[in-house]
């Protein structure tokens, strides 16, 4: 393996580590918000929409939807299915199986 090839591999590995570090930081920021933790707790062992969760945790549906989207981007939630409802799309989320929030811990 040439020196240039080795340098390229090292650069790619360094970039991958930086990307993972940013992802970890984003996850920590996402989990530092109390509403997001409430959403994760509400979704333990079930699937629900932000409208359903909002009634349970006494928050506005738009607020729950916003925070659920953040958790989705960070890999804490998965979008299980969507359906049309009253002219909008209602999404249903679940905690990701690989997530450390599962009830097995």
Residues, the chain: 105
**The pLDDT of residue 12:** 56
Q: Name the pTM for this structure.
A: 0.71
What is the DSSP secondary structure assignment for residue 44, as one 8-state letter? T
Q: Would you state the structure tokens that stand for residue 63, as one six-digit string? A: 């607020």
Tens digit of pLDDT for each residue in 13-40?
565 566 566 667 777 888 888 999 999 9
Q: Does domain 3-95 have CATH number 3.40.50.1860?
A: no
CA–CA dist 46, 88 (Å, integer): 22
Predicted confidence at residue 13, as pLDDT, reads 55
pLDDT of residue 20: 66
Which backbone phi and psi does 60 adopt, to 5 degrees?
-65, 145
Give the start-to-end residue ranges of the domains of the chain: 3-95
Bin 85: left if φ > 0, else alpha if -120 < ψ < 50, else beta: beta
Amino acid 57: pLDDT: 96
**Encoded tokens for 59:** 């928050």
Quick: pLDDT tens for 41-81: 999 889 999 999 999 999 999 999 999 999 998 888 999 99
**pLDDT at residue 85 is higher than 50:** yes
């Amino acid at each position: 393996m040439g020196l240039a090839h080795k340098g390229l591999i090292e650069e790619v590995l360094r970039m991958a580590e930086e990307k993972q570090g940013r992802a970890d930081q984003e996850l920590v920021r996402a989990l530092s918000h109390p509403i997001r933790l409430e959403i994760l707790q509400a979704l333990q062992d079930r699937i629900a929409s932000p409208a359903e969760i909002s009634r349970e945790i006494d928050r506005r549906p738009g607020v729950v939807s916003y925070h659920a989207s953040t958790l989705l981007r960070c890999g804490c939630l998965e979008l299980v299915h969507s359906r049309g409802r009253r002219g909008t799309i209602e999404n249903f989320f679940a905690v990701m199986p690989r997530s450390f929030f599962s009830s097995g811990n």
